[in-house]
């Protein structure tokens, strides 16, 4: 296993652990599935392509892990419903770099999350 793949595997495991401690069950299931899909896609790239995309991919996921790491922890004296919502708005320059497929996937993810967070849902 290459050093790059080892680092990605550790990051992947850390994110799943953060999901367990930071997200309510419906969001955790959805988040785990999304993370699994993204890391599997990266893992399946040829080594040259992985090296090309590694910095951006790992940087974005490190930022995500930091965001989760600063969220109130489940079981820390408040219920999941009372906890703050974890949010990380994308910067305009990041949004401009997304492909149409990525934008569509982001919209689907937002719609699904909105369905979980609406009071009448």
Question: Do 4 and 52 lie in a common domain?
Answer: yes
- Provide the pLDDT for residue 81: 42
- Provide the pLDDT for residue 17: 95
What's CA 107's distance to the chain center, in Å? 14
What's CA 69's distance to the chain center, in Å? 12
- Provide the pLDDT for residue 77: 46
Question: Do 8 and 62 lie in a common domain?
Answer: yes
Question: Do 99 and 58 lie in a common domain?
Answer: no
- Provide the pLDDT for residue 118: 63
For 86-119, what is each residue's pLDDT tens digit? Answer: 556 677 888 888 888 888 888 888 888 777 666 6
| pLDDT at 54 exceeding the cut of 80 | yes
**Full residue range of the structural domain in which residue 46 is found:** 1-73
DSSP letter for 86, please: P
Residue 110 · residue 102 · CB < 8 Å: no
Question: Do 58 and 113 lie in a common domain?
Answer: no
Q: Of the given ranges (23-32, 48-57, 109-118), which has the lowest mean pLDDT?
A: 109-118
Question: Do 54 and 106 lie in a common domain?
Answer: no
| Other beta carbons within 10 Å of 61 | 19
How many domains, the chain?
Answer: 2
Question: Do 56 and 114 lie in a common domain?
Answer: no
- Provide the pLDDT for residue 34: 92
Question: Do 10 and 43 lie in a common domain?
Answer: yes
Question: Do 12 and 66 lie in a common domain?
Answer: yes
For residues 69 and 36, the model is more confident at 36
The model's pTM: 0.64
In a domain, 24, yes or no: yes
In a domain, 78, yes or no: no
Question: Do 35 and 59 lie in a common domain?
Answer: yes
Average pLDDT, the chain: 81
Using CB atoms within 10 Å of the CB of residue 115, give its burial: 0 to 12 exposed, 13 to 18 middle, 19+ buried. exposed
Question: Do 3 and 38 lie in a common domain?
Answer: yes
For residues 27 and 62, the model is more confident at 62
State the Cα–Cα distance between residues 26 and 29, nearest whole angstrom.
Answer: 5
């Amino acid at each position: 296993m290459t050093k790059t793949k080892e680092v990605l595997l550790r990051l992947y495991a850390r994110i799943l652990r953060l999901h367990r401690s930071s997200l309510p069950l419906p969001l955790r299931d959805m988040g785990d599935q999304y993370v699994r899909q993204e890391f599997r896609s990266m893992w399946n790239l040829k080594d040259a392509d992985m090296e090309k995309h590694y910095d951006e991919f790992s940087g974005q996921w490190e930022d995500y892990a930091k965001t989760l790491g600063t969220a109130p922890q489940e079981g820390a004296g408040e219920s999941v419903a009372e906890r703050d919502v974890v949010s990380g708005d994308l910067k305009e320059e990041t949004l401009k770099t997304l492909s149409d497929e990525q934008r569509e996937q982001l919209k689907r993810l937002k719609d699904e999350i909105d369905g979980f967070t609406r009071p009448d849902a």
